[in-house]
Amino acid sequence: MDLGLQQKVYVLTGATRGLGFASARELVADGARVVISGRSQEGLDAAVAELGGAEHAHGVVADNADPASAERLVAAAKERFGRLDGVLISVGGPKAGPVLVAEDEVWRGAFESVFLGALRVARTAAAELGEGGVIAFVLSGSVREPIAGLGISNGLRPGLAMAAKSLADELGPRGIRVVGLLPARIDTDRVRELDGLSGDAEAARARASAAIPLGRYGTPQEFGRVAAFLLSPAASYLTGVMVPVDGGALRGL
């Protein structure tokens, strides 16, 4: 199936590695061009090279928590590739730990990057997108079920999902779609780090895999393919949905 991605242009935040980079790779493979953000020029240069170079990708050093980042990213897409068709908003996971031990400053920092920073990118993109545009949020399975040891994520992700749902209602009349992705155990550095917090990463992975109907962790490529589809014109009648990419791990409908 042709996803209709030829010459489309997308901004992807936090995309020098992990799920954001996997999504950028799938978009580029189908003919899209991407602007990716990250916190280090070195990481961006390596990612752009792996994505095929300047013809296909452009990197911008940016942090979602910085109020200036959203405007810079949207401007970079228009200046470098002449258009903007959508954004995939991803941020690093907030600090692990239970709710009871997370101090106010930790919550504030996570809110700035995970919640407010994401909405700022969405609002800025919405002002530039036309009919057929799309805003996608990389969220978490914690939108629907709390994840042990991730108290801050459990607190912020569901609120961001509801804000995205509201945004879908607000932007629908303009022909702009808003969707969310809910990854669970995808084999990334972040998930391996979380497994390691148990003291026995191999045992933690085995336990988690046993609770997944497909019996294994997902790959970044599997996530990236879903993201590329949701961002593409092929998904033109999907909006306001939260799509689990979890091998069946979420038990609710």
Return the pLDDT at 68: 96
Return the pLDDT at 190: 84
For 80-99, how does the pLDDT look when each residue is reduced to its tens digit (9 = 90+)?
999 999 999 997 778 889 99
Return the pLDDT at 94: 84
pLDDT at 152 over 90: yes
188-217 mean pLDDT: 90
For 115-148, how does the pLDDT look when each residue is reduced to its tens digit (9 = 90+)?
999 999 999 999 999 999 999 999 999 999 998 8
pLDDT at 149 over 90: no
pLDDT at 248 over 90: yes
Q: Residue 50 — very low, low, confident or very high, per pLDDT cuts 50/70/90? A: very high
Residue among 161, 213, 158, 164 at smallest CA distance from 185: 213
Return the pLDDT at 72: 97
Instruction: Report the 3 state secondary structure along the chain.
Output: CCCCCCCCEEEECCCCCHHHHHHHHHHHHCCCEEEEEECCHHHHHHHHHHCCCCCCEEEEECCCCCCCHHHHHHHHHHHHHCCCCEEEECCCCCCCECHHHCCHHHHHHHHHHHHHHHHHHHHHHHHHCCCCCEEEEECCHHHCCCCCCEHHHHHHHHHHHHHHHHHHHHHHHHCCEEEEEEECCECCHHHHHHHHCCCCHHHHHHHHHHCCCCCCCECHHHHHHHHHHHHCHHHCCCCCCEEEECCCCCCCC
Q: Residue 253 — very low, low, confident or very high, per pLDDT cuts 50/70/90? A: confident
Return the pLDDT at 148: 86
Q: Residue 189 — very low, low, confident or very high, per pLDDT cuts 50/70/90? A: confident
> 9-243 domain in CATH 3.40.47.10?
no
Return the pLDDT at 91: 77
pLDDT at 252 over 90: no
For residues 90 and 15, what is the distance between their CA atoms, to the nearest angstrom?
Answer: 8
Distance of CA 43 to the CA centre of its chain: 18
Specify the range with the lowest mean pLDDT, choosing from 49-53, 143-147, 149-153, 188-192. 188-192
